[in-house]
Amino acid sequence: MKIVTYNVNGLRPRISQHGSLRKLLDSLDADIICIQETKLSRQELRADVVTADGYESFFSCTRSLEKGRTGYSGVATFCKVQSAFSSNEVALPLDAEEGFTGVLDNSRGFATRKDDSQVGVEELEEFDRDELLKIDSEGRCIITDHGHFVLFNIYGPRAAHDDAERIEFKLTFYKIMQKRWEALILKGRRIIVVGDLNIAPSSADRCDAGPDFENNEFRSWFRSLLVESGGGFFDVFRATHPERTEAYTCWSTNTGGEIFNFGSRIDHILCAGSCLHENKDLEGHNFFSCHVKDCDILTQFKRCKPGTTTSYRWKGGKGTKLEGSDHAPVFMSLIEIPDISQHNTPSLSTRYCPQVRGCQQTLVSMLSRRQSTEEVKAHEQSGSSLDEETQVQSCEHLCKTPVHESIETHLVADELFTTASLAEDKCSQGYVSVHKKTLSLGSNQTKPTPCPEMKKKSKKNQSSQLSLKSFFHSTSTSNKAVKSSTASTSLNHTNNTVMECVTDIMKESESNGSELDQSQCESDACNSSPADKSKVALLEWQRIQQFMQNSIPVCKGHKEQCVSRVVKKAGPTFGRRFYVCARAEGPASNPEANCGYFKWADSGSKRKHDS
């Protein structure tokens, strides 16, 4: 029997990468596959992402409405079975439960079963119901009972060192989780815990561990669970490979740490309990010693393949094309696991989820739908059409909307500056994108043509696009007009970065006496041919590129141009631009890795980047 744990960093991207959910699961070649960070809400549980032939699935999704937590985390357990009904396979669970506090309304299995495997209320009396509900509302745990053992699929919370609220949440999360484990062990149950716990237990499990690394409270808690510290759990990978170093399962996506294997081991498999042999009094008999055959990291799923480290130069952001998750799966193979009694799929399975398989219609809903259809037909026969009114109103709205407001101002500099003709094309065709978004009237309806007033306005805007400078001026004006929208923060942030470069160029032009009178530029642009305009714009763009190249500093370690980044973390430096070495992060002993160069874009000060 084989169990795999894998933080997929978004289930949909992994399905797209492999072609289908079935192909993704088959590639892992396991009987039980525990996935973390699905990033799916309950409304997104559709057949194509939760069901695959030959597998039963159990999902937990976030219910939190907290900002930044919606559509986040999520875990899923897939069980490979030959039959979902009347099966004696160990992979098919007897029971299943979402969360681990027992307070979720839709929890079935353990939460509703009257047995002693559930944590009693008295054991969690120090926590109120709202606190327990908050712990389970982020979709971080699925529990499945496989008869011989109880399997916990966990996505542990992440907490930055300066985030007191999340640190407290993480402490409470694992405190309650441990109570659940202890309750099961006291009843003689065997436990297997798998998942991304977001804890590297020791300095051997972290690339840049400092002298105080192991003093962290979460690492101390993790080690207290282990047999060598008097606990009941085995860290299966470390117990199997006690001397292995640089065995990591997660790498930073921001710094390209995977290229030089600069990561941490935070994806774990733990087990506790007795073996399945009849004579349990034999010395040295336990679940790990008697039933664990092997455990290792599936490095073939790493994004960065061997042989690319010497020639690869980390660019960061959208320019980096590494296919796959930033985690690698971990597997454990078990031996001598006998079959269990005949049983069916637990009710928590997604095969019983209404939005996956659909739900039975009531007679009332069917008649209501039929009545609505008859009303539409009667309305069509009367000759009146609301769609025509919609078209007229939409057209009037378009005629009153400035064309430049539809320009996608969030493009990065490399896309925005391609040529001045690209900018002119966007201005002249701006009404098309608005037109399509506003007048999507269905496949059976004729699409309205833009009104004459709209055409005139687009031509006027096209002829008024005189220079690259005036294009940026209109773009910044447009950004101010839409500043109140929810997306304005990111748009304005990108434009401000671009405008800084343009402003510097304008200042340089003024100091050199090379700036032309604006009115003269407009007159020349109006009288010149399109070819002349394109040539002038190309020269201006080349000058901008040259200026930007000259303004990018060179790192001290490799004498290579740095990459520009922006502070995204809330604080006094939020939104500031800075430059860092373009190489991927790696150990300090590796000269090919990042040299640590750092410089603020608006300051001459430099300091070693402390990651």
pLDDT attached to residue 17? 94
Once rounded to an integer, what is the mean pLDDT over residues 313-320? 48
More reliable by pLDDT, 487 or 84? 84
> What is the spatial distance between Cα 470 and Cα 455, in angstroms, rounded to a whole number?
22
Model pLDDT, residue 417: 38
What pLDDT shows up at residue 494? 44
477 domain-assigned = no
Structure tokens at 116: 């002693």
Q: How many domains does the chain have?
A: 2
CATH code of residue 193: 3.60.10.10
Pick the most confident of 347-361, 486-500, 579-593: 579-593
Q: Are 558 and 595 in contact (CB under 8 A)?
A: yes
Report yes or no on 439 lying in a domain: no
Neighbours of 503 (CB within 10 A): 12
**Banded model confidence at residue 315, pLDDT cuts 50, 70, 90:** low
Rounded Cα–Cα distance for residues 593 and 256 (Å): 10
The C-alpha atoms of residue 405 and residue 407 are separated, in whole angstroms, by 6
Confidence (pLDDT) at 607: 44
Residue 113 has pLDDT above 50, yes or no: no
pLDDT, tens digit, 9 for 90 and up, residues 386-432:
344 434 344 344 344 443 343 333 333 334 334 444 444 443 444 33
Backbone angles phi, psi at 202, to 5 degrees: -145, 170
Lowest mean per-residue pLDDT among 19-23, 68-72, 206-210, 308-312: 308-312
Residue 257 maps to a domain: yes
- Residue 22: how many other CB atoms lie within 10 Å: 15
- Report the pLDDT averaged over residues 275-288: 81
The answer to which of 1-15, 218-232, 375-389, 433-447 has the lowest mean pLDDT is 433-447
- Residue 11's φ and ψ, nearest 5 degrees, are -70, -40
Q: How many residues does the chain have?
A: 611
* From 124-133, 278-287, 432-441, the region with the lowest mean pLDDT: 432-441
* Predicted local distance difference test score (pLDDT) of residue 327: 96
Residue 472 has pLDDT above 80, yes or no: no
Task: Please give the pLDDT value at position 314.
Answer: 52
Cβ neighbours for 463, distance < 8 A, ≥ 6 positions apart:
526
Order across the sheet with 32-36: list the strands. Answer: 55-60, 75-80, 32-36, 2-7, 330-334, 292-297
Domain assignment present for 362: no
Average pLDDT of the chain, as a whole number: 75
Task: For residue 327, give its domain range.
Answer: 2-107+114-352
Q: Is the pLDDT of residue 206 over 90?
A: yes
pLDDT at residue 538 in the model: 85
- The answer to whether residues 159 and 169 touch, using CB atoms and an 8 Å cutoff, is yes
pLDDT score of 439 more than 50: no
pLDDT of the residue at 325: 93
CA 588-568-413 angle, to 5 degrees, is 95
**Per-residue confidence (pLDDT) for residue 104, from 0 to 100:** 81
**Lowest-confidence pick of 363-372, 402-411, 582-591:** 402-411
Evaluate whether residue 574 is within a structural domain: yes
pTM for the full predicted model? 0.67
Question: Per-residue pLDDT averaged across 498-507, rounded?
Answer: 52
Non-local (6+) Cβ contacts of 597 within 8 A are 553, 555, 556, 557, 562, 579, 580, 581, 606, 608, 609
In a domain, 519, yes or no: no
Domain boundary among 310, 326, 352: 352
For residue 70, tell me if it sits in a domain. Answer: yes
User: How do residues 115-151 score in pLDDT, each as one tens digit?
Assistant: 444 444 456 778 888 889 999 999 999 999 999 999 9
Q: What are the catalytic residues?
A: 155, 196, 327
Last residue of a domain, one of 313, 336, 352: 352
| Range 63-79 average pLDDT | 80
Report pLDDT for 487.
45
Confidence check: pLDDT of 604 > 60: no
Confidence at 326, pLDDT banded by 50, 70, 90 = very high
The neighbour count for residue 209, using CB atoms within 10 Å, is: 15
**What pLDDT score was predicted for residue 320?**
52
Ramachandran category for residue 104: left, alpha or beta (phi over 0 → left; psi -120 to 50 → alpha):
beta
Q: Please give the average per-residue pLDDT across 60-85, as a whole number.
A: 85
> Between residues 576 and 308, which one has the greater pLDDT?
576
Q: For residue 158, which phi and psi values (nearest 5 degrees)?
A: -105, 140
Known binding residues are 7, 37, 196, 198, 326-327
Lowest mean pLDDT among 263-277, 351-365, 399-413: 399-413
Identity at 439, one-letter amino acid code: L
- Which candidate, 262, 226, 233, 234, places its Cα nearest to that of 247? 262
Using left for φ > 0, alpha for ψ between -120 and 50, and beta otherwise, residue 195 falls in left
- Tell me which of 271 and 126 has the higher pLDDT: 271
* Domain annotation covers residue 209: yes
Final residue of a domain: which of 295, 329, 352? 352
Given the structure tokens 């289908």, which residue do they identify?
A: 20
Confidence of residue 74 (pLDDT cuts 50, 70, 90): very high
Q: What is the mean pLDDT of residues 159-188?
A: 93
Region 96-102: what's the mean pLDDT? 92
Radius of gyration of the chain (CA): 30
Does residue 544 register a pLDDT over 60? yes
